[in-house]
């Protein structure tokens, strides 16, 4: 097969070439660098740039998506044309779970304040930090990222609550609640973490009533998708101290414009959609690709991380 990678795989590509040497491996630095011939002949494409237009690739059999979210891809077209789609789901859990605790530490341990003290050479010992121990953390979504973060939370002695569609029990959650009853969980929680993917059901799911339930001592962390809440609602909740603070890695429209009103607020921690990144990201995504290559495209129904076009994940 003619396999083109638009992801810079470095030595990982050498590994692939050597293990799967009966295929034709080509590397391009980006989608823009694909030639007319590439577009016409590519059978397997490795990519994670959502500008991708698969309708230009008549021979495409398999899109190896090196990101998790597939909601911006041409799912209907791919379904109709039988183009296999696999994604990188599951390789974000380690780094995102860790970053959830980075946000919590930044907030609970007043790291900015101590940094400021150090800069001003001030030795003030009257800052009282907050303990994670015995606090309550609630995850909106109970997928792999939430499970890993919940396991860490339990190690810290926190109580963990998971919210999913039907309230089914999941390991590492002390309690699970169905989505319809989420306000009860929000009321109890000190920290609420959104890890939901973007789907029709999750778009603008959270309303002002949800933030009211979280309450004015709550820290809201969003490492899922920015579209889970209409940003004007979130900004109102923060401005009016309906919730205490937010830590955001994702936004309704990315990249964020420098004039965005979120930048005006003093009770938000912002990172530029980086919690899923890792120095070992490509290594892990390539591991999934290798597993599927070993299975062979004729067994694509058994592929790891096969995306269901209709569910959208």
Secondary element (H or E) of residue 183: helix 182-188
Distance from C-alpha of 30 to C-alpha of 162, rounded to nearest angstrom: 39
User: Is position 98 an interface residue for a second copy (rule: CB under 8 A)?
Assistant: yes
Shortest Å, Cβ 111 to a second copy: 5
Q: What phi and psi values does residue 294 have, to the nearest 5 degrees? A: -65, -35
- Cα 99 vs. chain centroid, distance in angstroms? 11
> Which position among 155, 168, 239, 294 is part of the footprint of a second copy (CB under 8 A)?
155
User: Is position 117 an interface residue for a second copy (rule: CB under 8 A)?
Assistant: yes
User: Is position 156 an interface residue for a second copy (rule: CB under 8 A)?
Assistant: yes
Residues 135-154 that bind a second copy (CB under 8 A): 151-152
The region of 12-20, 94-102, 238-246, 302-310 touching a second copy under the rule CB under 8 A is 94-102
Here's the x/- map for a second copy, 255-274, by CB under 8 A: it reads as xx-xxx--x-----xxxxxx
273 touches 299 (CB < 8 A):
no
Distance from C-alpha of 190 to C-alpha of 181, rounded to nearest angstrom: 17
User: Is position 124 an interface residue for a second copy (rule: CB under 8 A)?
Assistant: yes
User: Is position 168 an interface residue for a second copy (rule: CB under 8 A)?
Assistant: no
CA dihedral 218→222→228→229, nearest 10 degrees, is 50
Which residue's CB is nearer to a second copy, number 18 or number 125?
125
Q: What phi and psi values does residue 110 have, to the nearest 5 degrees? A: 55, 40
User: Is position 106 an interface residue for a second copy (rule: CB under 8 A)?
Assistant: yes
Distance from C-alpha of 58 to C-alpha of 123, rounded to nearest angstrom: 67
Distance from C-alpha of 167 to C-alpha of 176, rounded to nearest angstrom: 5
User: Is position 171 an interface residue for a second copy (rule: CB under 8 A)?
Assistant: no
Count residues contacting a second copy (CB under 8 A)? 49
Shortest Å, Cβ 131 to a second copy: 6
> Which position among 21, 51, 133, 310 is part of the footprint of a second copy (CB under 8 A)?
133
Within 8 A by CB and 6+ apart from 63, the residues are 44, 45, 47, 52, 54, 73, 78, 83, 84, 85, 86
Which residue's CB is nearer to a second copy, number 272 or number 296?
272
Find the angle CA(122)-CA(126)-CA(130) to the nearest 5 degrees: 120
Residues within the interface to a second copy (CB under 8 A): 94-95, 98-99, 101-102, 105-106, 108-109, 111-112, 114-115, 117-118, 121-125, 127-133, 151-152, 155-157, 255-256, 258-260, 263, 269-274, 277-280
């Amino acid at each position: 097969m003619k396999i083109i990678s638009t992801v810079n795989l470095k030595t990982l590509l050498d590994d692939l070439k050597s293990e799967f040497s009966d295929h034709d491996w080509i590397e391009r630095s980006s989608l823009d660098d694909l030639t007319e011939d590439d577009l016409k002949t590519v059978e397997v494409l490795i990519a994670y740039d959502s500008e991708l237009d698969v309708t230009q690739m008549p021979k495409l059999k398999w899109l190896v998506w090196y990101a998790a979210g597939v909601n911006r891809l041409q799912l209907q077209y791919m379904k109709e044309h039988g183009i296999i789609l696999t994604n990188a789901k599951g390789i974000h859990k380690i780094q995102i779970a860790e970053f959830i605790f980075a946000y919590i530490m930044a907030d609970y341990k007043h790291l900015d304040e101590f940094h400021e003290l150090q800069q001003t050479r001030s030795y003030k010992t009257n800052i009282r930090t907050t303990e994670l121990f015995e606090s309550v953390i609630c995850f909106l979504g109970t997928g792999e990222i939430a499970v890993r973060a919940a396991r860490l939370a339990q190690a810290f002695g926190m109580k963990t609550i998971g919210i999913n569609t039907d309230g089914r029990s999941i390991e590492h959650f002390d309690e699970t609640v169905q989505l319809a009853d989420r306000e009860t969980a929000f009321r109890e929680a000190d920290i609420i973490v959104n890890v939901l993917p973007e789907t029709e059901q999750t778009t603008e799911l959270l309303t002002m009533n949800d933030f009211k339930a979280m309450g004015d001592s709550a820290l809201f962390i969003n490492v899922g998708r920015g579209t889970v809440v209409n940003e004007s609602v979130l900004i109102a909740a923060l401005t009016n101290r309906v919730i205490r603070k937010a830590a955001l890695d994702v936004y309704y429209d990315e990249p964020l414009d420098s004039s965005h009103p979120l930048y005006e607020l003093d009770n938000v921690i912002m990172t530029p959609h980086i919690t899923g990144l890792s120095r070992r990201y490509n290594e892990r995504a390539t591991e999934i690709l290798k597993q599927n290559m070993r299975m062979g495209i004729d067994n694509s129904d058994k592929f790891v991380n096969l995306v269901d076009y209709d569910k959208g994940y």
